[in-house]
Structure formats: C-alpha cells, structure tokens
C-alpha cells in the first residue's frame, strides 16, 4: 500500500516538474501548471494516479497551510494602512460581484442559494498568480499593484465567513435564527481562545523556543500551533480553513512572525501544489472539447464583469482611471480560494456534475489567461484613457483640483513625478534652494494631505499629455521621474521628450538593464538604484576599514565613470553647445559656496587668481538671487556667494577646500 502511495506521488511530482518547466518557458504561472498536471494524471486524463483519495488528503493539508499563511500575512496594522483599498474597494468589489452573479443566475431560473454560492466563487481572484507576476515585473509597489493586492487580500479574508455561511445557504439549518446565534457564540468563543493564546500563551512559548536556537524545534512548534488551533476549530463545528486562518492570525503580530512565515512557506508550497493538482484531476478535458462555445461565452462574460466591477470599485476610492483599469484587469480571473469554497460546496450539493465541470473549466482558463491580460493591461488602459469619457470619469487623466494650483503657469521649474521618498527629498531641497517645482502624484490621500500643507502638488497620471501640460512641461527646465512602475516610467519618458525636446529628463529606475531602454526613449540621466546602492555599500565598508576619504571618493568616481560609460555606449549623442559636459567630457561644471570662515572673504578674483593657481574658471557668481555672468577680476567675494565653476574634478576639489576650509578631511589614524 505504501509503495502504491509513493509511486503515485512520484508520478504526480515528476509530471508536475515537466509541465511547469514547459509552462515557465511559455510564461504560464505554476498554479496553472499544477491544474494541468491534475488534468493529465486524473481519471479523465491518463488515469495514472491509482489512489485519488491520497491526493485529496494532501490537498486538505494544502488548504490548511494556505489559509495559515494568509492569516499570518494579515494584521490589523496592514488593514489600517490600506483601509480605503481593503475595506471600501474590497467590500464594493466582493458585494457587487456577488449581487451581479446572483441576479444573472436567478434571472435564468437558478435557485437563490445556488446563485448566491456561485457569487461567492466568482468574486474571488488569484492572489497567488497576481503577486507572482508583480514580483517578477518589480511592480509590487506600484499604485495598481497595491490596489490589486489589497482587494485580493480582502477576498481571501472573506472566504472565512463564506465558509461559515455555506451550511445555512444549503438549508442544513432548519432554525436559521438559532443557527446564526449558535454560530456567533461559537465563533466568539473561538476568537476569545485564540486571542488569549496570542496575548498570553504564544509569546512565552515562542520566546522559550527561540532561546533554544534550534531550527527543528522552532519549525515543529509553528506546525503544532497551526494544527492545534485548526483542530479546536473543527471540534467546535467550524471549518478547518477557519481554524487555520485564525492560527495564522495569532502569529501575525508576533516578534517571530518573519521567521515563522519563512519556515512554513516550503510546506505551504508543497501541499498547496497537491491541492491544485487534486482540483485539476476533477476537470474532464473531453467535457471542455464538447462545450467550447458555452465555455468561451462564460469566460468572456466573467472576465468582463469582474474587470468592470473591480475597476469601478477602485475608481470610486479616488484612484486614477488608468490605475483602476489596470487593477480591474488583474482581478478579472477566478482565484484559488474559489476552489477552497468549491470543496465543501460539493458536499452541500451546490454543484451538479455539469455545473461543476463548467466552473472548473472557466476557472482554469481565466487563471491561465491572467499573465497575458496583465501584460496587455497598459496598452488597453492607455486606449481607454484616450476615449472621450468625460473629466469626472477620467480621474487622473485630466487635471484635477485646478483651483488649488493657481500658481501655474510656472517657468524654468522642476516637475517631480512621484511623491515617494525620492520625490519628497527633492521637493524639500528645491524649496530650500528657492527652485520652483510642481509635483504630480497618483495617491489621492497623499495629494490631499500635501495640498493642505501648501505643497504645489496635484493628482494625475503623468502618462497623459494633458497632465504634463498642466504641470507646465513646455516651460520646465528639468523633470524627475521617481515612480516604481517601470512601464509608466517608460511611457512618461517618451511623452515628456516629445513634448519638450529641451527638457533635461532625470529618471530613477530600479535595475541597471533599464538604463539603455530609458536613454533610448529620451532620458538624459538615468539613475539605477541597483548600482547606486552597491556604491553606497562598498563606500561604507571602506570607511570601516579606515580607508582615507579622498581614496574612497576616487574609487567612486572611477567606478561611476566606468559603469555609466558602459551603460551609455549604445548611443553617441550629438554635441550641443548648451551642454558643456558633452563638449568637454573631462570637465565638470558645478557650484561652490563661499563659507564665512574662508580666507578669501573680501578679496577680489584677481588676488585669488583661481585660473592660474587652481586651473579652474569662474563662469558666474550667484549672490542674493542675482547672477553675475563672467565676473571681472575686480569683483570681491562675500560670504554665501555661489561660484559657478568649470574644471577637472580634482582641481575643483582643491578650490572647494579653499572656499570651504571646514571640509578638510581629518587624517585617518594609523592602522
């Protein structure tokens, strides 16, 4: 018997590896690969698995681990930080989808309980697939990814009350009021037990376990906590899934959450794979071949219905139309938690053999289409944004709150796209330097808060020309793009360059390979965080080893020169007389401030003889907002004067020490 089980597992895992390997090359998610594996090995496929019950047992364990990890990722802190997305948009998406499905099915004569159950199934979207795609595309922190994952998280949480409601929908409870009361009391008791464990019991247990510094004991303790609370839930007449979710919730605020989550992930992935394989084993491939038209109609209808409702829910909480459309497209599939609900749904008689096959076929197909839909999302959203939909509907595609930005039009200013950490720092420095600037951001809460503080910021999607025009791009000197969305970054770069050929375009990107693409689209300077972070790391390491400051700075200059030279080697821009750096590549143009402690105070430029002594030329002097171009040798220097100079970096550094003597580096102590 054991040998048979092992043979079945070997067959399943070997075929899963083969299918997922092929799927990876075709960019098909692993979840879909598991489903297809189940179709092949199942009774409607090649019939390779002899004991389907064994796979179902492993699948039940997979559901427990899946909900356990969802519970660990959920906390009241997370809910508060994303309250508008999770609570408002999530509630609207779930409720409206359930009502829409219920109304359509009830119209065609489906009993109310069954129609409501299918609403429960279809309202779910795949967190697993969307999160994996966002991680691969480095888009987890983009506005539309946050909206997508926030709503998807809410859907996952709502699985728990849906599971509780199934016996009531199935009519298994004759006394509905009594059943609800009994359910409520049981749930409260379980929550009290879980809360008591989370506050008083688990912290002490986990502290003692952690002190042992034994990874095996730590892992076994985590699994024990999961199964104990799951068993208590089952003993009280509640579902295993609910118990697993609450078990995860007890650890969500623990000091040991991160290690616990990392320890349990491999088990979740292994057993969850069996869950999806077991679902795939139920799909009759020949049924799909016999009913292609009906399945295609259902797939298109569900994709459209869910995309519209999800996009509308996101739009109503103040997100831009483009963000809402991208989120709607990412949420239009049917997710893995629909399968979690389908298991007890079969027990309660919500499925016939035909409806079960239709649901499985539609769910698998929508999940398989998700990567392709997300990839096509930016093009679809851009086309819809260009339609004449009206300013109110096209939030973020046209200027909003114009009355709050009466300072426009600006000229010779900086446009900051994205008000994250980089954008905030740039705005702060620009304000100190009295440089005019305008900020564009897509977070309505941020815009509202910063407008109240007096910041020149407005809500909008910078991939739209009217938004950039409202920010005065035609008159701007510099534009800085500091957002996390690589596709939007590319689009903004291209549009900005076409609207103002003389604009100096600085773009921040996460990865070095993006530099070439962005420069081809028109960026003047591309700053890859990946590279700059490495520079910061090695400079700090060298400082700890007491390497002289000048040597470290020379290393940084050499590495920057070598790296950016390689990054820019793909194109040779034509020299422009307005850009001295292109005409004189070895020279540097910078501004140096005269310190009140400098010995040059009160001396004229002839006495200092900067050109002869330091091989540096002074192009201009900025004093109290006034600029003196090509100053004469008789001009005296005063404290806080800013000298615009040109010269090689080493010569400028020597002059900087004269103007700012307090910058002289201290001698490194002998090692």
What is the domain-level CATH number for residue 552? Answer: 3.40.50.720
Higher-pLDDT residue of 86 and 345 is 345
CB-based contact 50:4 (threshold 8 Å): yes
3-class DSSP assignment, residue 527:
strand
User: Residues 280, 196: one domain?
Assistant: yes
Q: What is the pLDDT of residue 77?
A: 63
What percent of the chain stands above pLDDT 90? Answer: 17
Q: What is the pLDDT of residues 519-528, one digit of tens each?
A: 899 999 888 8
Q: What is the pLDDT of residue 576?
A: 43
End-of-domain residue from the set 520, 537, 568? 568
Q: What is the pLDDT of residue 565?
A: 56
Task: Tell me whether residue 586 is in a domain.
Answer: yes
Query: The CATH number of the domain where 345 resides is what?
Result: 1.20.1530.20
Mean pLDDT of 237-257: 76
Answer whether residue 397 shows pLDDT above 60. Answer: no
Task: Tell me whether residue 347 is in a domain.
Answer: yes
User: Residues 89, 212: one domain?
Assistant: yes
Q: pLDDT category, 402, cuts 50, 70, 90?
A: very low
Task: Tell me whether residue 306 is in a domain.
Answer: yes
Q: What is the pLDDT of residue 253?
A: 67
Q: pLDDT category, 1, cuts 50, 70, 90?
A: low
End-of-domain residue from the set 507, 539, 568? 568
Q: What is the pLDDT of residues 67-79, one digit of tens each?
A: 788 777 666 566 6
d(CA 12, CA 3): 14
Pairing of strands 588-593, 525-528: unpaired
Q: What is the pLDDT of residues 3-61, one digit of tens each?
A: 777 888 888 889 889 988 888 787 777 777 888 888 888 888 888 887 777 777 887 78
**DSSP string of 296-331, one letter each residue:** HHHHHHHHHHHHHHHHHHHHHTT--HHHHHHHHHHT
- Residue ranges making up the domain that contains 109: 2-385
Q: pLDDT category, 135, cuts 50, 70, 90?
A: low
Residue with tokens 């390997």: 21
Separation in Å, CA 331 to CA 131, 204, 297, 366, 475: 11, 41, 18, 10, 40
User: Residues 369, 464: one domain?
Assistant: no
Task: Tell me whether residue 668 is in a domain.
Answer: no
End-of-domain residue from the set 330, 354, 385? 385
Answer whether residue 139 shows pLDDT above 50. Answer: yes
CB-based contact 498:427 (threshold 8 Å): no
Look over the chain and give the mean of its residue pLDDT values, rounded to a whole number: 81
Q: pLDDT category, 176, cuts 50, 70, 90?
A: low
What tokens does 370 get?
A: 């998700």
Answer whether residue 670 shows pLDDT above 70. Answer: no
Q: Does residue 409 have a cis peptide bond before it, meaning omega lies within 30 degrees of 0? A: yes
User: Residues 188, 271: one domain?
Assistant: yes
Q: What is the pLDDT of residue 668?
A: 37
User: Residues 444, 330: one domain?
Assistant: no
What tokens does 510 get?
A: 């996460």
Question: At 434, phi and psi to the nearest 5?
Answer: 55, 40
Answer whether residue 623 shows pLDDT above 80. Answer: yes
The one-character DSSP state at 459 is E
User: Residues 376, 406: one domain?
Assistant: no
User: Residues 429, 507: one domain?
Assistant: yes
User: Residues 159, 287: one domain?
Assistant: yes
Mean pLDDT of 171-194: 70
Report how many domains make up the chain.
3
Query: The CATH number of the domain where 591 resides is what?
Result: 3.30.70.1450
Answer whether residue 183 shows pLDDT above 80. Answer: no
- Helix boundaries (H) for 212-256: 215-235, 240-252
Question: At 255, phi and psi to the nearest 5?
Answer: -65, -20
Please choose, from the candidates 89, 617, 628, the residue with its C-alpha nearest in 3D space to the C-alpha of residue 317: 89
Higher-pLDDT residue of 272 and 524 is 524
Q: What is the pLDDT of residues 542-578, one digit of tens each?
A: 777 667 776 777 777 777 666 555 455 444 444 444 4
User: Residues 456, 591: one domain?
Assistant: no
Please choose, from the candidates 329, 282, 390, 239, the residue with its C-alpha nearest in 3D space to the C-alpha of residue 41: 282
Q: What is the pLDDT of residues 461-517, one digit of tens each?
A: 888 887 888 888 988 999 999 888 888 899 899 999 999 999 999 998 887 778 888
User: Residues 602, 559: one domain?
Assistant: no
Q: Which range has the worst mean pLDDT, 325-334, 420-429, 498-507?
A: 420-429
Task: Tell me whether residue 140 is in a domain.
Answer: yes
What tokens does 464 get?
A: 């739209």
Task: Tell me whether residue 573 is in a domain.
Answer: no
**DSSP string of 480-511, one letter each residue:** EE--S-HHHHHHHHHHHHHH-TT-EEEEEESS
User: Residues 347, 487: one domain?
Assistant: no
Q: What is the pLDDT of residues 195-212, one digit of tens each?
A: 787 778 888 888 888 888
Q: How many residues does the chain have?
A: 671
Answer whether residue 622 shows pLDDT above 70. Answer: yes
Task: Tell me whether residue 654 is in a domain.
Answer: yes
Q: What is the pLDDT of residue 158?
A: 84
User: Residues 551, 608: one domain?
Assistant: no
* CA dihedral over 354, 359, 364, 368, signed as positive or negative: positive
Task: Tell me whether residue 605 is in a domain.
Answer: yes
Q: pLDDT category, 179, cuts 50, 70, 90?
A: low
pTM of the model: 0.64
Q: What is the pLDDT of residues 278-319, one digit of tens each?
A: 878 878 888 989 999 999 999 999 999 999 999 999 988 888
């Amino acid at each position: 018997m054991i040998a048979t089980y092992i043979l079945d597992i070997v067959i399943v895992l070997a075929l899963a590896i083969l299918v997922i390997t092929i799927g990876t090359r075709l960019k098909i998610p692993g979840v879909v690969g598991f489903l297809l594996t189940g179709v092949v090995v199942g009774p409607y496929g090649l019939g390779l698995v002899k004991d389907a019950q064994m796979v179902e047992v492993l699948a039940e364990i997979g559901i427990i681990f899946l909900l356990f990890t969802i519970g660990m990722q959920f906390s009241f802190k997370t809910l508060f930080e994303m309250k508008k997305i999770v609570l408002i948009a999530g509630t609207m998406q779930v409720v409206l989808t359930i009502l829409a499905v219920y109304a359509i099915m009830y119209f065609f004569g489906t009993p109310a309980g069954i129609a409501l159950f299918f609403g429960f199934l279809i309202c779910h979207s795949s967190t697993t697939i969307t999160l994996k795609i966002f991680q691969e595309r480095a888009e987890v922190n983009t506005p539309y990814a946050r909206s997508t994952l926030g709503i998807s998280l809410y859907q996952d949480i709502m699985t728990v009350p849906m599971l509780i409601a199934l016996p009531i929908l199935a009519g298994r409870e004759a006394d509905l009021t009594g059943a609800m009361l009994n359910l409520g009391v049981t749930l409260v008791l379980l929550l009290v037990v879980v809360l008591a464990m989370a506050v008083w019991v688990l912290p002490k247990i986990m502290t003692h376990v952690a002190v042992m510094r034994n990874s095996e004991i730590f892992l076994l303790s985590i699994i024990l906590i999961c199964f104990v609370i799951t068993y208590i839930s089952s003993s009280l007449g509640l579902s295993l899934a609910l118990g697993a979710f609450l078990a995860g919730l007890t650890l969500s605020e623990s000091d040991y959450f991160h290690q616990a989550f990392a320890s349990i992930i491999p088990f979740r992935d292994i057993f969850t794979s069996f869950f999806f394989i077991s679902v795939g084993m139920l799909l009759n491939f020949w049924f799909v071949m016999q009913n292609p038209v009906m399945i295609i109609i259902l797939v298109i209808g569900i994709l459209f219905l869910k995309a519209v409702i999800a996009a509308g829910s996101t739009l109503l909480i103040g997100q831009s139309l483009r963000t809402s459309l991208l989120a709607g497209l990412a949420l239009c599939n049917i997710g893995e938690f629909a399968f979690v609900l389908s298991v007890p749904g079969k027990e309660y008689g919500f499925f016939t053999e035909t409806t079960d096959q239709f649901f499985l076929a539609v769910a698998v197909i929508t999940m398989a289409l998700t990567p392709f839909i997300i990839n096509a999302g930016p093009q679809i959203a851009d086309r819809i944004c260009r339609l004449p939909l009206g300013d109110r509907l096209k939030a973020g595609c046209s200027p909003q709150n114009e009355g709050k930005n009466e300072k426009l039009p600006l000229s010779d200013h900086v446009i900051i796209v994205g008000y994250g950490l980089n954008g905030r720092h740039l705005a702060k420095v620009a304000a100190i330097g009295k440089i005019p600037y305008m900020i564009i951001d897509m977070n309505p809460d941020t815009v509202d808060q910063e407008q109240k503080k007096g910041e020149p910021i407005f809500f909008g999607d910078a991939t739209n020309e009217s938004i950039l025009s409202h920010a005065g791009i035609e008159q701007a000197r510099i534009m800085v793009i500091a957002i996390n969305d690589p596709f939007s970054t590319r689009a903004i770069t291209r549009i900005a360059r076409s609207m103002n050929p003389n604009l100096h375009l600085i773009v921040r990107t996460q990865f070095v390979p993006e530099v070439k693409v962005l420069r081809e689209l028109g960026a003047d300077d591309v700053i890859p965080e990946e590279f700059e972070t490495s520079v910061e790391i090695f400079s700090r390491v060298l400082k700890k080893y007491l390497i002289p400051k000048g040597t470290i700075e020379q290393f940084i200059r050499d590495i920057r020169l070598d790296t950016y030279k390689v990054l820019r080697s793909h194109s040779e821009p034509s020299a422009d007389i307005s850009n001295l750096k292109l005409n004189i590549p070895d020279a540097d143009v910078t501004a140096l401030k005269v310190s009140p402690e400098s010995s040059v105070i009160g001396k004229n430029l002839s006495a200092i003889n900067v050109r002869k002594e330091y091989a540096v030329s002074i192009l201009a002097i900025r004093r109290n907002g006034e600029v003196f171009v090509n100053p004469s040798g008789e001009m005296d220097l005063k404290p806080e004067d800013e000298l615009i100079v040109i010269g090689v970096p080493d010569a400028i550094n020597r002059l900087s020490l004269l103007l700012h003597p307090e910058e002289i580096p201290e001698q490194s102590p002998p090692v």
